[in-house]
Amino acid sequence: MKIITKLKTLHEEIHHHKQSGDSIGFVPTMGYLHEGHLSLIKEARTHNDIVVMSIFVNPLQFGPDEDFDRYPRDLERDRKLAENAEVDILFMPDAEEMYQGPLSVVLNVKERVHVLCGKKREGHFDGVVTVLTKLFHLVQPERAYFGMKDAQQIAVVEGLVEDYFFPVEIVRVPTVREEDGLAKSSRNVYLSEKERIEAPALYKSLKDAKKKIESGDLNGDSIISEVTDFIHRETSGRVEYVEIYSFPELTPLADLKGEIILAIAVQFQKARLIDNIIISLDIKENQHV
């Protein structure tokens, strides 16, 4: 595995692989790797000649009251995990390398950001698409891999790629979970012992709702109320939102149909957890003969 910290070195390495005809799979991360990240590497390893992973805690996607300084970092552990997972190139730039001066062109996401987490994180996804635009140009991957735990991010990135004709396929990878169903996350380390016992209730609420919807209960308000009540009963966390939208458009639905997302966010004492489930509904219109 090659560890690269400079843009010039990365450019030379990518150019070499492009000249050799190698396909490139890309896994962008902010580090503190866990099994969720490793599943992205595994998927990329399966379909590409070369796997590039980036580790960069992007300051542009943290708001003034968010946890940039507290965001967990362990670069040596990350390096070992990446090497064991057979990453070919590990790109670990610092902020000065990625942002070498004031931006003369600023990216601003207009759609898919005013709901779910984006509703209270103004500018967050602007930071996401800014760093990914840089990384996509640098790495030039055929495919980039993202976990479905952050489904809103996938929706925004798919919009970026579609709108600006990036020659990269966005691959959705299923959320990796603990044995009890809790979605793996770098922030799980902040849960207290009691909260960790409660936290699997989030996914259970989603699975129960999915069963109801697939059984024909298409009343979105009723589903949202039931999920909210369940989380209130089973956890000490504060429900920040329970919402249903079309996916990946993230638009409100008068009737539940097509591909939809049921997403939740719950604030515990020191950790904010998100989770979601995608449901595909094949609702056929009445046909008159």
Residue at a domain's end among 173, 205, 226? 173
Together in a domain, 192 and 232: yes
Together in a domain, 149 and 191: no
8 A C-beta contact, residue 261 and residue 285: no
Structural domains counted in the chain: 2
Q: What rounded mean pLDDT belongs to the chain?
A: 94
Together in a domain, 169 and 190: no
Q: Is residue 72 domain-resident? A: yes
147 phi, psi to nearest 5 deg: -80, 145
8 A C-beta contact, residue 223 and residue 245: no
- End-to-end, the C-alpha distance of the chain in Å comes to 64
Question: Which residue ranges make up the annotated binding site for ATP?
Answer: 30-37, 147-150, 176, 184-187
Contacts 24+ apart (CB under 8 A), 282-287: 283/255, 283/256, 283/257, 283/258
Catalytic residue selected from 16, 17, 37, 114 = 37
pLDDT band at residue 289, thresholds of 50, 70 and 90?
very low
Residue 185 pLDDT more than 90? no
Residue at a domain's end among 173, 199, 228? 173
Together in a domain, 92 and 69: yes
The three-point CA angle 247-282-160 to 5° equals 20
The pLDDT tens digits for 235-286 are: 999 999 999 999 999 999 988 999 999 999 999 999 999 999 999 997 544 3
pLDDT cut 70: percent of the chain above it: 98
More confident residue, 255 or 90: 90
The amino acid sitting at 47 is H
Q: How far is CA 199 from CA 212, 226, 276, in A?
A: 21, 17, 14
Range of the domain at 160: 2-173
Q: Provide the whole-model pTM.
A: 0.91
Together in a domain, 153 and 79: yes
Give the residue-averaged pLDDT of 199-225: 97
Together in a domain, 169 and 216: no
Q: What is the CATH number of the domain that holds 191?
A: 3.30.1300.10
Question: Which residue ranges make up the annotated binding site?
Answer: 30-37, 61, 147-150, 153, 176, 184-187
Question: Which residue ranges make up the annotated binding site for (R)-pantoate?
Answer: 61, 153
Strand partners, 239: 266
Q: Is residue 181 domain-resident? A: no
Q: Is 47 a catalytic residue?
A: no
Give the residue-averaged pLDDT of 13-36: 96
Q: Is residue 180 domain-resident? A: no
Q: Is residue 284 domain-resident? A: no
Q: Is residue 286 domain-resident? A: no
> Which pLDDT score is estimated for 184?
87
Together in a domain, 21 and 149: yes
Together in a domain, 99 and 219: no
8 A C-beta contact, residue 171 and residue 145: yes
The pLDDT tens digits for 53-81 are: 999 999 999 877 777 887 878 999 999 99
Residue at a domain's end among 173, 207, 233? 173
CB-CB neighbours of 207 under 10 Å: 10
The number of C-alpha atoms within 13 Å of 165 and in the hemisphere containing its C-beta is 0
Residue 191 pLDDT more than 80? yes
Residue 208 pLDDT more than 80? yes
Q: Which of 114-123, 134-143, 197-206, 279-288 has the lowest mean pLDDT?
A: 279-288
